[in-house]
Chain A
Amino acid sequence: MNGYLLLSALLFSIGLAGALTRRNAILVLIGIELMLNAANLNLIAFWRYGPNPAALTGIMFTIFSISVAAAEAAVGLGIILAVHRHTRTTDLDQMNSMKG
């Protein structure tokens, strides 16, 4: 099981690195999706190797997590499209009009 947990930690940190370093707003959103997926892998690994797999807790949690992530991706991309309509760019470094 430690292999799965290590893999999920690695995916989480790759997603985190992408979300913190990329300029394109859509790729930041993709990084967040990746972090959610890493958490799902963690949940399923704990369900499989945990003490009570018959309670299906891990699977239920993951199903709801996938649904929420899809909804959040849709709303997030809607926001990015709306911002793009105003500022004609998706470059996050140029969206600093509220700075200072």
Chain B
Amino acid sequence: MTVIFLILAAITIAGTAAAMSLRSAIHCILALTIGLVGLAALYLLLGAQFVGFTQILVYVGAVAILAVFAIMMTQGPGKTIQPILSTNWPAGVLVATAVFAILAWAIHSTPAHSTPTQPDVSVNQIGAALMHHYVLPLEIMGLLLTAALIGAVILAMPEKKEPQ
């Protein structure tokens, strides 16, 4: 448990906890961005450079901006839904705590792994694996993203008014 891991973990937990508990929705998204950048730094610490930069490119650069645009279009600036918590929120918090307790107990009861040396993975290897071993998931992912693109555009398009 090195110092840098503790600092990054603290930043990530602070960002995500703020993301789920702030009042204004846009502040939540900005706090989430801090949490996601903390996660990307943790990926870099674990030696997965490609995944870390992809996380910033996709999540911070696209998903967060998409979420703020959606909040802008459904709320407009300055107008927050007044009660921020749903009506049966104690049940939700209870379920989340129970899930965390079970997962923590499961993690605690596994024996500690020996730590091998940092694997040195280059982007060439990832590309080769994507083209040889994982080419089918890659093509299916392309199909899925195309379908999601078309679906999102159709869902968000304003409906044509039928002429009366």
Contacts and interface: CB of A to CB of B under 8 A. Distances in A.
A9 B100 contact: yes
Given A37-B39, A73-B63, A54 B51 contact: no
B161 interface: no
A71 B144 contact: yes
Interface in B83-107: 83-87, 89, 91-93, 95-97, 99-100, 103-104, 107
Interface residues of A, number: 71
B81 A9 contact: no
Given A63-B54, A78-B155, A7 B100 contact: no
Contact of A56 (B20, B25, B113, B126): B126
A16 B86 contact: no
B164 interface: no
B148 A72 contact: yes
B155 A82 contact: yes
Nearest to A14: B16
A62 B40 CA distance: 12
Nearest to B28: A27
Contacts of A74: 66, 148-149, 152
Contacts of B129: 56, 60
16 contacts: A3-B1, A5-B107, A11-B13, A12-B99, A14-B17, A17-B97, A18-B21, A30-B32, A53-B121, A56-B129, A59-B126, A68-B144, A70-B63, A74-B66, A82-B155, A82-B156
Interface of A: 1-7, 9-24, 26-27, 29-31, 33-34, 37, 40-41, 44-45, 47-50, 53-54, 56, 58-60, 62-64, 66-75, 77-82, 84-85, 89-93
